Amino acid sequence: GENVEQHPSTLSVQEGDSAVIKCTYSDSASNYFPWYKQELGKRPQLIIDIRSNVGEKKDQRIAVTLNKTAKHFSLHITETQPEDSAVYFCASQVAGGSYIPTFGRGTSLIVHP
Amino acid sequence: NAGVTQTPKFQVLKTGQSMTLQCAQDMNHEYMSWYRQDPGMGLRLIHYSVGAGITDQGEVPNGYNVSRSTTEDFPLRLLSAAPSQTSVYFCASSYGENTEAFFGQGTRLTVV
């Protein structure tokens, strides 16, 4: 089955810095790559997603890039703020499969004021 | 819309007890799933369903049962609780291909 690796497991930055979280996937048939943010004690919620026919997508301070050849995708957060502190999960979905996402292990992002 | 509703929010069980975690969604989603979240392990898939009457195993199914008699409901049953099942459980639903998953608020289960 699909395997998603996520790095780093913990990321500590100063407010205003950029943060990058990287994920790799194993199944070349994967075609949908969502990112979820989970604040402490809350449920995961989608923040951005990308489909395999797109190389990059931006939404204000966050962006996601996808390299299908290398089977990796990344989340970029610019001008980080303390409220960006959370656990971030990448995920992938396999086309023609169960359409149930496979998640990475998560990255705990800490933004220091 | 309520979205995805999970009950209970907290539960303490004794080893060997059984219980059912409830999950209901009002978005007419065909795809539903159960995950457990443990520190450093991310969200691991327990069981999932692609429609009423259809269920399948995920990555960590042992000790759990599911059924899907209606589109709205997808309960998770712990047959004989063990301390290793202490975790936070999330139910999720989606329309399916290339669509986001909506999560319930989670159930924090402690087995003593």
Q: Which residue of A has its CA nearest to B99?
A: A32
Helix, strand or coil, per DSSP, at residue B85: helix
Q: How confident is the model at residue B1 (pLDDT cuts 50, 70, 90)?
A: low
Question: Which of B 51-110 lie inside 8 A of A, CB atoms?
Answer: 56, 58-59, 90, 94, 96-101, 103-106
Q: Kindly determine whether residue A6 and residue B42, on different chains, have CB atoms separated by under 8 Å.
A: yes
**Cβ contacts of B35 on chain A, cutoff 8 Å:** 103
Has residue A57 got a pLDDT over 70? Answer: yes
**Cβ contacts of A42 on chain B, cutoff 8 Å:** 105
* CB-based contact A47:A35 (threshold 8 Å): yes
Average pLDDT estimate for B17-33:
96
Has residue A93 got a pLDDT over 80? Answer: yes
At residue A1, the pLDDT reads 82
Phi, psi of A84 (to 5 degrees): -80, -10
Percent of chain A past pLDDT 90, that is, above it, reads 89
At residue A53, the pLDDT reads 82
At residue B48, the pLDDT reads 96
* CB-based contact B62:B44 (threshold 8 Å): no
Beta-ladder partners of A75? A21, A64
Residues B47-80: tens digit of each pLDDT: 999 999 999 999 999 999 999 999 999 999 999 9
Average pLDDT estimate for A69-80:
97
- Pick the closest to residue B81 from B19, B36, B21, B38 (CA basis): B19
At residue A107, the pLDDT reads 97
pLDDT, mean over chain A = 95
Q: Cα–Cα distance between B67 and B61 in angstroms, integer? A: 13
Q: Cα–Cα distance between A113 and A82 in angstroms, integer? A: 6
Q: How confident is the model at residue B96 (pLDDT cuts 50, 70, 90)?
A: confident
- Pick the closest to residue A108 from A9, A19, A7, A4 (CA basis): A9
Q: Kindly determine whether residue A45 and residue B35, on different chains, have CB atoms separated by under 8 Å.
A: no
pLDDT, mean over chain B = 95
Of A43, A51, A99, the CB nearest to B104: A43
- Pick the closest to residue A5 from A86, A64, A89, A65 (CA basis): A89
Cα of B46 to nearest chain A Cα, Å: 11
